[in-house]
């Protein structure tokens, strides 16, 4: 009799545990979206650079309160990655609702100021989308910006190319007017995925 009682209590305990487990919030619902920056990597820095039109671009002035910047660091001689990322920016700007797109300033900051002059950027950047702004500066200013944003960039002499190329990190950043990083996009993220993420962030 005692054994039967223990068995019944065991069944009740199993049913209770199963019921609790079924009603707990699912772990997936609490996971951060893949575009969320990792801990300790959520703050960029303001910068003052020269745009592809020759105008001074101060981020603390041009990115007004309530607005955002979508930033990629690259170079105009990039054979594949940079054009692909700028094409994504074009998809994003054309896909966002107008009221959201008006809050976004897409920026292409050079890692190769030696070749990426104002004229070079002004020939290159508008090919992708009229809203994208190319930014350059002297070597010291660009290097300071790269260091502040923890962007890796290095000159590479490859025998298969007549000119040097650049090895560099490939993140795109969505930042607010305080340069707080709200999203960190990777090469694998499509323009459509970036668009949906921005819709969730920019209200």
Query: pLDDT, tens digit, for every residue of 139-195?
Result: 999 999 999 999 999 999 988 878 999 999 999 999 999 999 999 999 999 999 999
Which of the four pLDDT bands, split at 50, 70 and 90, describes residue 14? very low
Domain count along the chain:
1
Taking the C-alpha atoms of residue 199 and residue 203, their distance in angstroms, rounded to an integer, is 7
Taking the C-alpha atoms of residue 101 and residue 68, their distance in angstroms, rounded to an integer, is 10
pLDDT at 62 over 60: yes
Percent of the chain residues topping a pLDDT of 90: 77
pLDDT of res. 170: 96
From first CA to last CA, the distance across the chain in angstroms is 65
Q: Is residue 172 part of a domain?
A: yes
Taking the C-alpha atoms of residue 185 and residue 70, their distance in angstroms, rounded to an integer, is 10
State residue 41 phi and psi, 5-degree precision. Answer: -130, 50
pLDDT of res. 30: 56
Q: Is residue 191 part of a domain?
A: yes
Q: What is the pLDDT of residues 73-99, one digit of tens each?
A: 999 999 999 999 999 999 999 999 999
Q: Is residue 85 part of a domain?
A: yes
- Average pLDDT on 52-56 reads 98
Q: Is residue 42 part of a domain?
A: no
Task: For residue 192, give its domain range.
Answer: 48-201
Of all residues in the chain, what percent are helix, strand and coil, respectively (each to 5)? 40, 20, 40
Contact 101, 93 (CB under 8 A): yes
Q: Is residue 124 part of a domain?
A: yes
pLDDT at 21 over 70: no
Q: Is residue 101 part of a domain?
A: yes
**Which CATH number covers residue 66?**
3.40.30.10
Q: Is residue 186 part of a domain?
A: yes
Which of the four pLDDT bands, split at 50, 70 and 90, describes residue 41? confident
- Pair type for strands 165-168 and 153-156: antiparallel
């Amino acid at each position: 009799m005692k054994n039967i009682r223990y068995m019944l209590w065991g069944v009740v305990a199993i049913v209770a545990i199963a019921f609790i487990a079924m009603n707990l919030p699912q772990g997936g619902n609490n996971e951060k979206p893949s575009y969320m920056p990792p801990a300790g990597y959520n703050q960029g820095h303001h910068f003052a650079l020269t745009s592809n039109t020759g105008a001074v671009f101060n981020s603390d002035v041009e990115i007004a309160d309530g607005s955002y910047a979508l930033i990629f660091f690259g170079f105009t001689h990039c054979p594949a990655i940079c054009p692909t990322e700028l094409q994504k920016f074009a998809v994003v700007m054309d896909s966002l609702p107008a009221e959201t797109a008006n809050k976004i300033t897409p920026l292409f900051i050079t890692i190769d100021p030696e070749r990426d002059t104002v004229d070079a950027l002004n020939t290159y950047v508008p090919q992708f989308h009229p809203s994208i702004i190319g930014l350059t500066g002297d070597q010291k200013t660009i290097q300071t910006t790269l260091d502040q944003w923890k962007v890796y960039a290095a000159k590479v002499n490859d025998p298969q190319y007549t000119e040097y190329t650049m090895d560099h990190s490939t993140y795109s950043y969505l930042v607010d007017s305080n340069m707080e990083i709200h999203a960190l996009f990777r090469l694998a993220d499509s323009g459509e995925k970036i668009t949906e993420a921005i819709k969730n962030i920019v209200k």
